[in-house]
Amino acid sequence: MIVDVHTHIFPDDMAERVVSQLSAAGAVPAFLDGTSSALLDSMDRAGIDVSVIAPVATKAAQVRSINDFSASVGSSRLIPFGTLHPEFEDVAAEVARMKSMGIRGIKLHPEYQAFHPDDEALFPMYEELKRADLFILFHAGYDVEIPTLHSTPSHFANVHEAFPDLVLILAHMGSWRLWDDVEEHLVGKDVYFDPSYVFDDIDIDQFQRIVMEHGPERILFGTDSPWTDQSVEVGRLRACGLEPAVVDSILGGNASRLFGL
């Protein structure tokens, strides 16, 4: 089984517009049109069995409708994550609603949502998520579209220290383009990394070192589709110089255990 823990789709009636806007903002080409059908076709081509859908609310008013959409596309092949926003008021009720709809976790983006992950104002949210056994997939590190930097390895280390039982998946190998800091502050801690959107930027020796020193069992395959080609990303991981058994665990074994697949 191959599991991609980091993908994005949008409702069919807005996918083309949203993908076009995001591509232009970051000068990043999209490989898919942002629809669920395109993602499923891509998964078939890449040999990917299951993908996690990871939406982001840029405004608190978007949270409920985004969560409704994510839950509506959930299936045996698409695991729905939801979203929250630091300014969203009734967190406990929305967490309970997400749980009842089969949502398995949430995506938070400290750059789009303009917050520091270790801001104590967010701790009640984290407590609700932990109580509901929902995971958090964080955007981590720099973002190609936004010049701010709210999320660093030290911020995530603080969150893990405060909530050691909360499952954190830190995208882009712990923090995009901050991998020296990842090695200093996060490697070896009980948090997960995904290697989405890193292979063009990270030194392959450092990638291998982070995987092995952090523990291959805490690396979950992710692509950031539609911003990468899933087939290419599977091939890049297979060609990265890690032992085949390690690659297989990253491609799917670890996520299968985490999600109970």
With bands split at pLDDT 50, 70 and 90, how would you rate the model's confidence at 146? confident
50 contacts 67 by C-beta, under 8 angstroms: no
- Mean of the pLDDT values across residues 135-148? 93
Strand partners, 193: 170, 219
Token pair for 250:
């990253």
Residues 76-126 pLDDT 10s: 999 999 999 999 999 999 999 999 999 999 999 999 999 999 999 999 999
> Order of strands, edge to edge, in the sheet holding 50-53?
3-7, 50-53, 78-80
Residues 187-242 pLDDT 10s: 999 999 999 999 999 999 999 999 999 999 999 999 999 999 999 999 999 999 99
Architecture of domain 3-259: Alpha-Beta Barrel (3.20)
Q: Is 126 helix (H, G, I), strand (E, B) or coil?
A: helix
128 contacts 95 by C-beta, under 8 angstroms: yes
CA dihedral sign, ordered 75, 79, 84, 90: positive
d(CA 166, CA 5): 17
Say whether pLDDT at 27 is over 90. Answer: no
> Order of strands, edge to edge, in the sheet holding 82-83?
82-83, 105-108, 135-138, 168-170, 192-193
With bands split at pLDDT 50, 70 and 90, how would you rate the model's confidence at 63? very high
For the chain, the average pLDDT equals: 97
80 contacts 104 by C-beta, under 8 angstroms: yes
User: Given this model, what pLDDT does residue 202 score?
Assistant: 97
